[in-house]
Structure 1
Amino acid sequence: MTQRPQPDDRFRTRTLRRWYAVAWVALGLCPPAVSTLHHGGPTRYWSLALLAVIALCYTAVAALPGNPVLRPHAFLGVLVLGFGALALVRGDGAALLIVSLPQFWFLARSPRYAIALSGAAAAATVAGIVRHQSWRVEEFSTGNIVFAVIGYTASVLLGLGVVRIVEQSDERARRLGSELADAQLRLAEAHRLQGATEERERLAREIHDTLAQGFASIVVLAEAARSGLDTDPARSARQLLSIEHTARENLAEARVLVGSAPRSGVALGSVAATLRRTLDRFAEDTGLTVTAELPDVACDQPTRIALLRCTQESLANVRKHAAASAVEVVLSSSADGVELEITDDGRGFVVEDSHGFGLNGMRNRLAELGGALTVTSSLGDGTRVLAVIPTSSEV
Structure 2
Amino acid sequence: MAGRGTVDFGYRYRAGWHVLVGAVAIPLAVAIAADVTLALGQRLLALSTLAIIIAWYAVAAPQAMENRDERWGTAYFAALAVAFPLLLAIAPMSGVLMFALCPQLFVMIARWRVRLPLLLLLYAELAWAMLAPVGISRYTLTMAGVTVLVPMTVTILVGAYLTGIREQNRKRAALIEELTRTRAALERAGHEAGVHAERERLAAEIHDTLAQGFTSILMLTQAARTTLLRDTTAADNQLDILEKTARENLAEARSLIAARVPADLTGRSLADALDRLAARHTRDTGTHVDVSITGERTAAPTGTDIALLRTAQEALANITKHADATTVRIELHHDHGCTTLAVTDDGQGFDPATVQGGYGLDGIRTRATALDGTCTVRSAPGQGSTVRVELPTTPAEQATRSPCPAREPHPAPDDH
Q: Do they superpose with TM above 0.5?
A: yes
Asked if 1:388 corresponds to 2:411, the answer is no
Question: How big is the shift at 1:148?
Answer: 8.4
Superposition pairs for residues 203-222 of structure 1, below 5 Å? 203-222=202-221
Q: Give unmatched runs, 5+ long, in structure 1.
A: 10-64, 82-100
Equivalent residue letter for 2:212: Q
Aligned residues of 1:347 and 1:379 also touching (Cα < 8 A): yes
Equivalent pairs, count: 313
| Closer, same or farther: CA 248–346 of 1 in aligned 2, 3 Å | same
Aligned residues of 2:333 and 2:340 also touching (Cα < 8 A): yes
Give the structure 2 partner of residue 20 of structure 1. none
- Deviation string 1:11-40 (CA, Å, 9 cap, x unpaired) is xxxxxxxxxxxxxxxxxxxxxxxxxxxxxx
Aligned residues of 1:348 and 1:381 also touching (Cα < 8 A): yes
Superposition pairs for residues 18-29 of structure 1, below 5 Å? none
Following the alignment from structure 1 to structure 2, what is the Cα–Cα distance between the partners of residues 213 and 369?
A: 24
- Deviation string 1:62-111 (CA, Å, 9 cap, x unpaired) is xxx9x952586469979xx9xxxxxxxxxxxxxxxxxxx89964587944
Bigger shift: 233-242 or 116-125? Answer: 116-125
Question: How big is the shift at 1:163?
Answer: 8.0
Equivalent residue letter for 2:329: E
Superposition pairs for residues 134-283 of structure 1, below 5 Å? 172-173=171-172, 175-230=174-229, 233-259=232-258, 262=260, 264-265=262-263, 266-283=265-282
| Closer, same or farther: CA 122–111 of 1 in aligned 2, 3 Å | farther
| Closer, same or farther: CA 300–181 of 1 in aligned 2, 3 Å | closer
Q: Give unmatched runs, 5+ long, in structure 2.
A: 10-15, 33-97, 110-114, 397-416
Aligned residues of 2:364 and 2:375 also touching (Cα < 8 A): yes
When normalised by structure 1's length, the TM-score is 0.64
Asked if 1:320 corresponds to 2:271, the answer is no
Over the aligned positions, Cα root-mean-square deviation in angstroms equals: 4.4
Question: How big is the shift at 1:300?
Answer: 3.7
Aligned residues of 1:335 and 1:391 also touching (Cα < 8 A): no
- Deviation string 1:103-135 (CA, Å, 9 cap, x unpaired) is 9645879447x998985554343433354345x
Superposition pairs for residues 97-112 of structure 1, below 5 Å? 105-106=102-103, 110-111=107-108
Equivalent residue letter for 2:303: P
When normalised by structure 2's length, the TM-score is 0.61
Aligned residues of 2:123 and 2:152 also touching (Cα < 8 A): no
Following the alignment from structure 1 to structure 2, what is the Cα–Cα distance between the partners of residues 107 and 77?
A: 18
Following the alignment from structure 1 to structure 2, what is the Cα–Cα distance between the partners of residues 317 and 210?
A: 13
Bigger shift: 290-299 or 348-357? Answer: 290-299
Percent of paired sites with the same residue: 32
Following the alignment from structure 1 to structure 2, what is the Cα–Cα distance between the partners of residues 252 and 240?
A: 18
Question: How big is the shift at 1:213?
Answer: 0.3
- Indicate the SS of the match to 1:384: strand
Equivalent residue letter for 1:206: E
Question: How big is the shift at 1:338?
Answer: 0.8
Following the alignment from structure 2 to structure 1, what is the Cα–Cα distance between the partners of residues 154 and 303?
A: 74
Question: How big is the shift at 1:326?
Answer: 1.1
Question: How big is the shift at 1:294?
Answer: 2.4
Aligned residues of 2:274 and 2:291 also touching (Cα < 8 A): no
Equivalent residue letter for 2:127: T
Aligned residues of 1:345 and 1:381 also touching (Cα < 8 A): yes
Aligned residues of 2:351 and 2:381 also touching (Cα < 8 A): yes
Give the structure 2 partner of residue 308 of structure 1. 309
Equivalent residue letter for 2:297: V
| Closer, same or farther: CA 287–128 of 1 in aligned 2, 3 Å | closer
Following the alignment from structure 1 to structure 2, what is the Cα–Cα distance between the partners of residues 75 and 165?
A: 32
Following the alignment from structure 1 to structure 2, what is the Cα–Cα distance between the partners of residues 382 and 272?
A: 24
Give the structure 2 partner of residue 89 of structure 1. none
Equivalent residue letter for 1:207: I
User: Which of 353, 357, 360 is equivalent to 1:358?
Assistant: 360
